[in-house]
Structure 1
Amino acid sequence: MDFITILFIGIGLAMDASAVSLAKGMSLDKDQVKKCAFILALAFGFFQALMPAIGYYAGSHFAEYIQSIDHWIAFILLSLIGINMIREGKEEKENEVKIHSIPFKDILLLAIATSIDALAVGVSFAFLKVNLFLAITTIGITTFILSFVCVLFGKKLGCLFEKYAEYLGGIILILLGIRILIEHLFF
């Protein structure tokens, strides 16, 4: 598998993380956006690189088990975090407080939820004899860059929709979870 193909796989895998980054960026405090963007992008890039490595070594039996429930795990995690964002948006509206950081547990859950599909990709890499180091490095860096940029872009959008940024971010996460669920159940 050539580098360009791996790069496009990395971009495809990074789309969920990018959408989540955009949603989270909308609600961040202006003073903390770059720090949070770096931390979020680092977590997403790390897990997007880690999951194919795990899949590569775990083999197809483990991937078949995960593939049967990965969409449910992603749907539940993204929906719960989205509902929490909407709830926080309501509290924020009442208290007029911006989010200064993203809790570690949310970062961890989001990183796992958006990278579960990469596990199965890792299994396919093993069958195709892909250079694992090149693949996980490319996927990780691609996800990091796209996620970082999307947090910054999300902040710009958040400034436009400041009153509703938390609601919009939460809705995006829930819709992303629903999309993942529908794609896996029906396509």
Structure 2
Amino acid sequence: MKIEHIISELLPLFIMAFALGLDAFSVSLGMGMITLKQRQIFYIGIIIGIFHIIMPFIGIMLGRFLSEQFGSITTIVGSILLMGLGFHIVYSSMSHDDEYRSVPAGGSLLLFAFSVSMDSFSVGLSLGIYGARTFVTILIFGVVSMMLTWIGLLIGRRVQSILGTYGEVLGGIILVGFGIKLLFSV
């Protein structure tokens, strides 16, 4: 396998993982403004990373099934889903100023991780329709989201929460761009 082929396959996945992880990063910035122990930061990042592996995996499996059943129409649906998700993220980040500011633990941490990884399910659905490599994709999504969560929590201690809104907008715009790219590859 040539290095150019590997880069052309992995680079879009890393960019998409970054876009998806910006949601967790943005919320973590706000959450990082409260006093957190290093152990709490580590645990929160791990849980969010795990959810960013589980949710796209479920989406990819469902997307592959739909692709096998309905053919190329599912690629169009997948691209529209990505664009819709991106527009929704941009819209919701501009219409809400309230940041999540309490430290999640136990069940609330699981609910928090689930909520910031829902977009990964939708993207996984689109990637399953498109035929992405499952293991590599979900591993990249999980690791990047975990790292961005840790970075967000650590930076949140020192930075104002306004950056969180811009991070979500950027993530939404990137997802719209990938939806358009997928649509034109049909």
Cross-structure match for 1:120: 122
For residue 26 of structure 1, give the secondary structure of its aligned residue in structure 2.
coil
* Contact 1:21–1:40 (8 Å) recurs in 2: no
1:44 to 23, 41, 48: 48
Letter in 2 for 1:4: L
Alignment of 1:68-87 (within 5 A): 82=99, 85=101
For residue 110 of structure 1, give the secondary structure of its aligned residue in structure 2.
helix
TM-score with structure 2 length normalisation? Answer: 0.62
Residues in 2 aligned to 1:112 and 1:19: alpha-carbon distance in whole angstroms: 15
Alpha-carbon deviation of 1:103?
2.1
2:24 aligned with 1:17, yes or no?
A: yes
Alignment gaps of 5+ in structure 2? 1-7, 68-76, 177-186
* Contact 1:36–1:102 (8 Å) recurs in 2: no
For residue 102 of structure 1, give the secondary structure of its aligned residue in structure 2.
coil
Cross-structure match for 1:139: 141
1:58 to 62, 83, 87: 62
Alpha-carbon deviation of 1:125?
1.6
Cross-structure match for 1:27: 34
Letter in 2 for 1:18: F
2:161 aligned with 1:154, yes or no?
A: no
2:113 to 111, 114, 119: 111
Alpha-carbon deviation of 1:14?
0.3
Cross-structure match for 2:5: none
* Contact 1:18–1:150 (8 Å) recurs in 2: yes
Over the aligned positions, Cα root-mean-square deviation in angstroms equals 3.8
Alignment of 1:158-173 (within 5 A): none
For residue 132 of structure 2, give the secondary structure of its aligned residue in structure 1.
coil
- Per-residue CA deviation, residues 63-96 of structure 1 (Å, 9 max, x unaligned), is x8xx7xx86xxx7xxx8x957x4xx7xxxxxxxx
Tell me which stretches of 4 or more aligned residues in structure 1 moved more than 3 Å: none
For residue 103 of structure 1, give the secondary structure of its aligned residue in structure 2.
coil
Alpha-carbon deviation of 1:58?
2.2
For residue 35 of structure 2, give the secondary structure of its aligned residue in structure 1.
coil
Alpha-carbon deviation of 1:21?
1.0
Residues in 2 aligned to 1:52 and 1:36: alpha-carbon distance in whole angstroms: 25
